[in-house]
Amino acid sequence: MSVVAFGQWTLPDSPYAMWVRDELADFLRLPDDGTRVEVVGGEFIVSPAPVFPHGGIVATIQRAIDGRGFVDPVFPWRTMQVLGLDLVEIGDGYIPDLLVFHADVEAQGWSEGLRFLRPDQVELVVEVTSKSNAQNDREPVFGRRQQATKWSGYARARVPYYLLVDRDPGRPGVTLFGEPDHLAGTYRTLGAWKFGDVVTLPEPFGVEIPTELWRPWSD
């Protein structure tokens, strides 16, 4: 059973400012067990550490991209899991499941000791949904009040590509979004696959990702 808890806190500064200074998790007294805190739409969200199937999907995507680099010496893309992404333009701070960026950014990260990356340093972000907070990764639901999500935040920050793996039993599948409209905070759908299909990331990646072991989460 998954439970989402809500509460109110009086913070000494904005959630984003505390997140950037790496103070938010300590202020909330979060355990050092993989629990993540992010700022989405100006509000902080706490997520538990990923379970094995979630982490296995991320690892499969990472291996597929890194594997292309092993056989192609000029392949320019690098990957890293759970690295902070500072969306300073919109005052959000995310921790994507996987970031894909150019080798030049990797060199900059080593030379400058970067704590976070910025959206203009990233080519692709990957998110795998979890039962407790899947709505934060998807396109916002339009209604009386449009709630900001990471989907709209990535688009507003001009991240070129967003790969969403949705493990919801009612809508399992993989979707690649691109061509962000930063003013509207929207993406175009570039491709969609069912679990069991081979996901083909187009150029500039040219990578195939097997999904035969991927499953929806259990109710």
Q: What is the pTM of this model?
A: 0.93
Instruction: List the domains of the chain with CATH numbers.
Output: 50-210 (3.90.1570.10)
pLDDT given at position 4 = 43
Q: Are 119 and 157 in contact (CB under 8 A)?
A: yes
Beta bridge partners of residue 175, listed in sequence order? 164, 192
Residue 2 has pLDDT above 60, yes or no: no
pLDDT tens by residue, 4-47: 444 466 888 999 999 999 999 999 998 888 899 999 999 999 98
pLDDT given at position 3 = 40
C-alpha triplet 190, 84, 11: angle, nearest 5°? 120
Average pLDDT score, the chain = 92
pLDDT tens by residue, 132-171: 889 999 999 865 446 899 999 999 999 999 999 999 999 9
